[in-house]
Each structure stands twice: as structure tokens, then as C-alpha cells.
Structure 1
Amino acid sequence: MNPALQTLARHRQTTVVVVLVVATLLSWGLSVEHALDGSTGTKIATVAILGIAFVKVSFVGFDFMEIRGAPAVLRLLFQIWLVVVFLTIALSYLIA
């Protein structure tokens, strides 16, 4: 393997960017597959896409906004916020 690529692969941010791109492609694939379905599968796909989005927010927060190195209380508050907002949106969508 090229030494420059090995150095690039060692950086956590590079790995996170690759994971974010893969997650984006996965959510796009789910949305295209269920776009005209109109059934329960569409609701499941929508909630899955929301879940993927919140995982992506978590990666961005921890790795690019440096919450990973923040005090434990801030990390915990961020994680609680993610869960509460995700559940609020997902349950609102499923109930409506």
C-alpha cells in the first residue's frame, strides 16, 4: 500500500468521513427503495433513515466538534440530547 494512503488511513477523521459517506449512501438507498411503497415498510425505512442521520450527527459531534475530548458531563448531555430528539421525531412520525 502507498505510504501516503497508510498515513491517511490512520487518521480517525478519515475513517469517520468514509463511514459518513457509506451511511449517506445507505440512507439514500433506503429512500429510493421505499419511495413509492406507501406501506409499513416505508415507515420502517423512514425511521431507519432517521436513525442513520442521528448516528451521523453523533460522529460529527464527537469527531469534528471535539466533544470526544470534552468533559464527561458534556458528552453525556450530548448523547441524551441525541436520544431525546431522535425519539421525539421518530415517535411523532410513527404516531401521526
Structure 2
Amino acid sequence: MLESPDAVLLYIPLMKDLGMKWSDIKETPRHELIGLLSAHAEYETFHSMDGYSEKDISEMAKDKPEIRTQYIKYMQCRRKYEEMLGGKRQKPTFKGIV
């Protein structure tokens, strides 16, 4: 079998993760394919720790310290997009609802 980094790092993820067909991949310029994969990786980071609190992360990090590094990347990504969207969103308060 031919070993190609493009197959492993580009084509398979596009088909598996993004559901692209081989014909779509062949018709799309390479720089756009790389952009799609980059955006997908950013999306995965952006949602990688959804649903976990800082307390949950601290508990999990006791067994796997690398969790804390992943959480830091997650928070940096979240902050980056919050800043791009015009600042931090304020959490709703009871007074704000009434």
C-alpha cells in the first residue's frame, strides 16, 4: 500500500470528519481543503470541554494532568472567539430577567 501523508492527514479526515466525497475533494483547491481542516480542528477545540466546570477539570486532572493543558487551550479558544464577537457575554442574572 502506498503510504502518503496526504491520505492520512488530509483526505481521510475530510471524508470521515466532514463527510466529504472523493469527488468533492478532487474538485476543491488544496488551500481550501486545508482551511476546512483547520476550521474543523478549531471547532473541536472550541467544544472539547463543553459541559465541564473548573471543579470537574480539577478532579479529572488529579488522574490525568494533561487534562489541565487541554482545558487551558479550550479556554484560550473560547476567549479568542468571545473577543471577536464583541467582548465577553454577560451571564444572565435574575434582575436582568425581570
What range describes the TM-score normalised by the shorter chain of this pair? 0.3 to 0.5
Q: TM-score, with normalisation over the residues of structure 1?
A: 0.33
Between structure 1 and structure 2, the one with the greater Rg is 2
* Structure with the larger helix share: 1
TM-score normalised by length of structure 2: 0.33
